[in-house]
Amino acid sequence: MSSLYEVLAERLSEARENRARVLKAPADNAGEAYERENAAERLAKEIGRLEGAENGLVFGRIDRTDGTTLRIGRIGLHTEEDDLPLLVDWRAHAARPFYEATPVHPMALRRRRHLRLEERTVVSVSDELLDGTAPTGEDVVGDGPLTEALSARRTGRMHAAVATLQAEQDEIVRSAHRGVTVVQGGPGTGKTVVALHRAAYVLYAFPRAAEEGVLVVGPNSRFLDYISQVLPSLGENDVVLATCRELAGVAADTAADPFETARLKGGSDLADALAGLLRAHQAPAGDFSVRVGRQLVHLSGEEVAAARDAALAAVPGHNPARQVFTEFLVDAVADAMRRDMGDLLEQIDADSALMTGMDLDRFTGADRRRAEGAAEPGPAHELDLDAVRADLLDDAGVDRAVEALWPRLVPGDLVQALLTDPDALAEHLPRLTAHERSLLLRGPAAPWTDADVPLLDEAASLVDGPPERTYGHVVVDEAQELTAMQWRMIVRRCPARAMTLVGDFAQAGPVATARDWKEALGPHVGPRFRLHHLTVSYRTTQEILESVRDLLTRIAPDQRHTRSLRSGESPRTLATPSDGLVTTVLQEIRTQSTAHPGELLGVVCADTRVGELTARGIGDHARIVPASEARGLEFDGVVVVHPEEITAARPGGERDLYVALTRATKRLCTVTVQQPAAPGPTAPTR
């Protein structure tokens, strides 16, 4: 073990020295300075990768039946001299049997060993014998490492499960499929684990995707914080973690819309409406006259439309296409001028400059020919179109025409123009009812809302073109939460359509617009996605799962049932009069924290109740989590406060309750309010 750490330390100090050297090296020009920056950045990443892997560097070993062995770790390490693997990266093909071998398919393994390290010391060893041979004195066959991992205390931060990834999870993580992989599974089945280990695998196994970057999208910053340590501990610091708002680059605090409004704004009709409204700013149909000097040049509707279509086909984005449109428009004007002026030139050569304000000699090439000693002006078809075009591009009249036909736009203004104008809403959202459109209508000074963020992003892509930053692979957790508009913003950032999407539609929040994966993904990839199901819960005990079974049948009748590997205490319910609610929660939390010191406790309540619980000091003993933000989180013990209040707080509140009830790894207590509040003892009844 120590030799492994010595090699790691050597690699680290080499990388640090190299970086220091690179930073000190003189750079004689901008190119060299750029190279130096790049090299330093690469080395900084390598240092981060090596540092991240230090904790629990090695966690496994496989002994093959032919007597050879391999150690499995967070990263691969080789000896310098002969490049022999001292430690095999868990993602390497050679490590596969560590995850996949079973007694039925031992994959030429005799033994699989799990090691647990604290600092650099091995604190536990656990072996499985796979070839049917009897244990020898060298084998330590004991309680499974998975059981140990699952019963460990929660810390409020998710940990990598790289040592105990289960075969059904590993199959998804290691899949060679580069397109869209979807993972559906009940609470605690390891969807987040799979998603994050998949991100690490992609970085290792798909170099092109790794080069283009990996993005992990989560529902809120509380969740991103919860998972933030997993990838660095797998030696991967090069992943972008973001919420949709961060992706859109909306820095200002956003307000919340009423749910019905938010759901409407999440529908893809809004994308069509914004595109429709934009089209109204792109050379709307009809003839158009351009004033050039004193001349009015007339363009037919077809000529304007041809310039518009050519501009739209040339480059995505309204503003970038404006330049192209200008050029096509100038061509059309020049053609029209040639047409108009053909006759004119022959009739009134001398007065032409006066009429048009332009030097026709130059345009006809007459001045050039004169200089060359040629005879007087040639026929009109010899008009020097290049010179005409060059002048037209600088012409104020043409500028005015472009401004009228193709104004430069700001994305927010497009959204604003749609949402503040009842006529625009009616014209561009014909499928909505008048009531629905009234829900979308906002005042000009109203702040942006969360549900406006994907609209702003849509408008930005329509107006300025596709996002500059795209990724080679995108991972989305809690993907059931995404609205159609949010899916659009994510897919936009993944041109290769290489994605890992995990979620559970039984846990969908009130704003989610799709009911299943087909509906969510159909518009983007049709049926081209691979769906996997996870059916074993690694968090929630069998008792807790059973206690929510009826609720699950109500909210998701078709959902496959999840089984748990673990059993524990039966969930408890405390009933209290409404004025004793907070006191009861406080007492319960105090009791739990005294009985189970060091455990992580969570109190999940309706969002509106957070202030009161915080004011009563419950936050000193437990994390207070508003039900709307509980998705994906977990605790050793959970107290769910006033379930009826949670279900009534938002549409689809039963799904919020289902999420709240499935957050505990060990203990669940629900505090209900007696209805109607009975007079008498305030002490809780058990």
Ligand X SMILES: Nc1ncnc2c1ncn2[C@@H]1O[C@H](COP(=O)(O)OP(=O)(O)OP(=O)(O)O)[C@@H](O)[C@H]1O
Binding site listing for ATP:
185-192
Interface pick for ligand X out of 52, 73, 76, 632 (rule CB under 6 A): 632
Which of 276, 306, 304 is closest to 289 using CA atoms? Answer: 304
Distance CA 594, CA 579 (A): 25
Window of 31-39, 123-131, 159-167, 368-376 that interacts with ligand X by CB under 6 A: 159-167
634 binding ligand X? (CB under 6 A): yes
Q: Mark residues 592-631: x for contact with ligand X by CB under 6 A, - for none.
A: ----------------------------------------
Interface pick for ligand X out of 22, 161, 271, 476 (rule CB under 6 A): 161
DSSP letter for 292, please: E
504 binding ligand X? (CB under 6 A): yes
User: In the numeric block, which tokens belong to residue 514?
Assistant: 């799709």
Interface pick for ligand X out of 60, 187, 232, 653 (rule CB under 6 A): 187
Interface pick for ligand X out of 126, 166, 461, 592 (rule CB under 6 A): 166
Interface pick for ligand X out of 493, 524, 539, 609 (rule CB under 6 A): 539
Burial 585-618 (b: 16+ CB within 10 A, else e): bbbbbeebbeeeeebbbbbbbbbebbeebeeeeb
Q: Which is nearer to ligand X, 146 or 271 (CB)?
A: 146
Decide: helix, strand or coil at residue 340: helix
56 binding ligand X? (CB under 6 A): no
Shortest distance, position 630 Cβ to ligand X, whole Å: 9
Shortest distance, position 150 Cβ to ligand X, whole Å: 6
Which of 524, 587, 535 is closest to 561 using CA atoms? Answer: 535
149 binding ligand X? (CB under 6 A): yes
Interface pick for ligand X out of 193, 551, 627, 661 (rule CB under 6 A): 193
192 binding ligand X? (CB under 6 A): yes
User: In the numeric block, which tokens belong to residue 567?
Assistant: 């059993």
Q: Which is nearer to ligand X, 294 or 561 (CB)?
A: 561
Window of 86-94, 156-164, 322-330, 401-409 that interacts with ligand X by CB under 6 A: 156-164
Radius of gyration of the chain from its Cα atoms, rounded to whole angstroms: 33
Window of 45-53, 158-166, 271-279, 441-449 that interacts with ligand X by CB under 6 A: 158-166
What one-letter code names the amino acid at 551? L
Cβ proximity of 452 and 254 under 8 Å: yes
165 binding ligand X? (CB under 6 A): yes
Torsion on CA atoms 538, 544, 548, 553, rounded to nearest 10: 50
150 binding ligand X? (CB under 6 A): yes
**In Å, what is the CA distance from 335 to each residue of 382, 383, 510?**
12, 10, 57
555 binding ligand X? (CB under 6 A): no
Q: Which is nearer to ligand X, 11 or 198 (CB)?
A: 198
Distance CA 499, CA 529 (A): 9
Q: Which is nearer to ligand X, 155 or 685 (CB)?
A: 155
218 binding ligand X? (CB under 6 A): no
For 510-615, strand residue ranges (E) read 529-534, 536-537, 563-564, 572-576, 601-605
Distance CA 471, CA 427 (A): 36
The CB-based long-range contact list for 674-677 (8 Å cut-off, 24+ gap) reads: 674/575, 674/576, 674/577, 674/578, 675/644, 677/577, 677/578, 677/579
Q: Which is nearer to ligand X, 236 or 504 (CB)?
A: 504
Interface positions with ligand X (CB under 6 A) = 146, 149-150, 158, 161, 164-166, 169, 185, 187-193, 504, 538-539, 632, 634
